[in-house]
Structure 1
Amino acid sequence: MKIKFWGVRGSIATPGSNTVKYGGNTTCIEIRTDANDLIILDAGTGIHALAQDLLKEMPVKAHIFITHTHWDHIQGLPFFIPIFIPNNHITIYGGIDPVTNETINRALSVQLQYSFFPIREAQLNARIEYVTVTPGVPVKVGSATITPIVLSHPVLNFGYRIDCDGQSVFFTGDYEPQLNIYDPQDDEFAEFQSFVDAKWDEVVLAIKDVDALIVDSSYTTQEYASKQGWGHGTYDSGIKLATAANAKKLFFTHHEPTRSDAHLDEIYQDLLRNNAEVGCELLLAQEGVDISL
């Protein structure tokens, strides 16, 4: 398998001179199997640059897996040029929102309303299909098996494991490890902690022994103290997860939008210095870099 990051920023795109090295586009990851099947994880603003790259290999058959429908993970969909070109086949995967009971087709159709975009959904020329995924139920794309698991975030959020060609990748989407909402002295603490522990074990099992873990690491541990419940992880929580799951490579992504390249470099050097004993390779996700597993 091959991985390429087209968007690594969280919450809002941050173009400019301070984000040239790591990139300022929001989440989008390209996965290619050995048979060249195209799997795309999320459709943030980075998917626009991916679309330009795909123009040289028409017709396009793409499988887009949406972790969740917050803007920074879907706002690139209307700018994914292959949806406007005949003979392309685009399949979009995602869950049913438990609050609205809407399926993943809403992610594109809402954005293509007259008030928000000049082109209507009916004007798309590609063949567009929508597939509803179910937690724990694998989906096949060519020789790849994609397995979704629900992860903690303030909206329905799927992590996806991709197994193919004897290799594996897991992407968390936006993920804050489950916290115990009770104080230790509360009667409910022990029971809720059992739930937290069981969910942790479930997540670790889903990620077990992956070749690459791509994890939401928006905050430092110090920053997280004032951001609990916002739905994002830390560098340390990512390392804890990778260690528990025996991941071989750990990619930190969803870079906080105010972080400059220089700040990310500083954080990365601190991570390497303070985690020399960690058994997996630590890497910062960077736009435009090709990774072969």
Structure 2
Amino acid sequence: MERSNHTVTEFILVGFTTDPTMQLVLFVVFLGVYSLTVVGNITLMVLICNDSRLHTPMYFFIGNLSFLDLWYSSVYTPKILMTCISEDKSISFAGCATQFFFSAGLAYSECHLLAAMAYDRYVAISSPLLYAQVMSRRLCICLVIYSYTGGFVSAIILTSNTFTLDFCGDNIINDFFCDVPPLVKLACGVMESYQAVLYFLVAYNVITPTMLILASYLFIIAAILRIHSSQGRRKAVSTCSSHLVSVTLYFGSFLYIYSRPKTSYSLERDKMVSTFYTVLFPMLNPMIYSLRNKDVKEALKRLFQFTHSEV
């Protein structure tokens, strides 16, 4: 029996498994990952805010990335933890739409922010003497505002188009959160206009930032090749390595999920990939930007010394 979306009051999130033992194991794993995500990102934000040596454009963007990752992980993980320990796997229609909106808005915002960070690294390497002048505080704030605005305006468009689709059959979402592929699977028929909107948003929020990042790194490579000293080249490469790792991991998984047509979706396979960029990636980012970063490690050391002296 077909039914339209106005009659759907809730969805059922299948999650990862129905085995009680595995659900308990997954609860412990995801709780550990979420705890590390919260501690790591909050610590990085506190260091950047409190240490004047980190008040530079690069760390301004990293701090905003940590804020996005903390918020991003909180959209998914608490619900995952609830579905692991509760027999109630349902999520209301309004709750699904809300989760979908914040999921899309934060994901798209992060794409634009990573592109802004690539431009920041290009300016730092190609014009080090003019870096402070070019990457002014005003420009940095404008780039961050643009990232959030572009991401959440796109999320409004995507959410309104998705949740006006007609859903038929059952209301079971074969995933752990409300996302485009599983919701499209439940739709009675996806109009070409919806596919066009989806492809436009992917092009604007994913493909375009990807192209800007690639262009920035082409110019970065050209600038590095013009550096005569090997030490200078190594220093230039090291300033980009963390960002390059983040971009590769995030955009790689993101493009895999959303740049393919409806007919090629495999929800079980996509579920595992989406776990990476929704849950694991926000935990990895603080490690990526701190483990090999001398400035962050020194700031953390100063914070520990200050805390110890206060005690």
Identify whether the pair has TM-score above 0.5, normalized to the shorter chain: no
Q: Which has the higher contact order (CA 8 A, sep 6+)?
A: 2
Tell me the TM-score normalised to structure 1 length.
Answer: 0.29
Of Structure 1 and Structure 2, the greater helix share is in: 2
